[in-house]
Structure 1
Amino acid sequence: MSEPISPITLPPAINPQQEGEWLRLKLQQWLDSQFIPELVNQQIARRAAQIYLRQRFEGENDLGSLVIAIVTEMQAFDFSKSFYGEFAIANAVGEILLESIGINYCCGQLDS
């Protein structure tokens, strides 16, 4: 039987505003690099960063909970002008955050 994945906890937010802005920029860069840069990518990145920021202000440090919050709240976003959906955005945020804390997520493996 497989082992459950251990939770990944982010360090407490020292400067959540700066963290949110950093995430917004990184996510927009990722979105723009996957297909073509589009105005909607800015809106998606801004909304995902707002969700992330609010969660961090509320003291959330668990990566899984942050990703679930983004999936849940991004369901209300209008993705009709985008190639993306809420799951792709939440997964991208998770990958960006994993990379930022030095965790390699390649090929289904988590390596520190």
Structure 2
Amino acid sequence: MAEPIPPITLPPARNPVQEGEWLRAALLQWLNQEFIPEDANWQIAKRAAQIFVRQRMEGENDLGSLVMAIVTEMESFDFSNSFFGEFTVANAVSDLLLDSLGIDRCCGQ
């Protein structure tokens, strides 16, 4: 039987607004590089960063919970002018955070 992947806990937020600005810029860059730059990418990155900041200010440090919050709250976002959806955005946020922490995201390690 496979071992469950342990939860990933982010360090406590020291400056959630600064973290959010970093995330907004990093996610926007990722969105623009993944397909083509679109006007909607700026709004997507801004909204995802707002959700992330609020969650961090509320004391959320669990990466899985942060990703689920982004998926849930981005469901109401209008993705009709975008190639992306809420799951793609939340997974990209997760990957960006893991990369920033130096955690290898290959194969659950």
Q: TM-score range by the shorter chain?
A: over 0.9
Q: Is 1:77–2:62 an aligned residue pair?
A: no
Equivalent in the alignment of 1:94: 94
Percentage identity across paired residues of the two chains: 69
Q: Secondary structure at the match of 1:82?
A: coil
Q: CA deviation at 1:103?
A: 0.3
For structure 1, the residue ranges without an aligned partner over 5 or more in a row are none
Structure with the bigger RCO (C-alpha within 8 Å, sep 6+) is 2
What's the CA shift string for 1:11-37, capped at 9, x where partnerless? 001111100000000000000001111
Give structure 1 regions of 4+ aligned residues with deviation exceeding 4 angstroms: none
| RMSD of equivalent CA atoms | 0.6
What's the CA shift string for 1:40-67, capped at 9, x where partnerless? 0000000000000000000000000000
Mapped to 1, the partners of 2:4 and 2:88 lie a distance apart of: 23
Mapped to 2, the partners of 1:3 and 1:76 lie a distance apart of: 35
Mapped to 2, the partners of 1:87 and 1:49 lie a distance apart of: 15
Mapped to 2, the partners of 1:49 and 1:39 lie a distance apart of: 16
Q: CA deviation at 1:76?
A: 0.3
Mapped to 2, the partners of 1:104 and 1:79 lie a distance apart of: 30
Amino acid at match of 2:74: M
Q: Secondary structure at the match of 1:26?
A: helix
Q: CA deviation at 1:109?
A: 3.2
Q: CA deviation at 1:79?
A: 0.4
Amino acid at match of 2:86: E
TM-score normalised according to structure 2 size: 0.98
Equivalent in the alignment of 1:109: 108
**1:1-112 equivalent positions in 2, closer than 5 A:** 1-106=1-106, 108-110=107-109
Number of residue pairs the alignment of both structures matches? 109
Query: Is the contact made by 2:16 and 2:56 (CA closer than 8 Å) also made in structure 1?
Result: yes
TM-score normalised according to structure 1 size: 0.95
For structure 2, the residue ranges without an aligned partner over 5 or more in a row are none
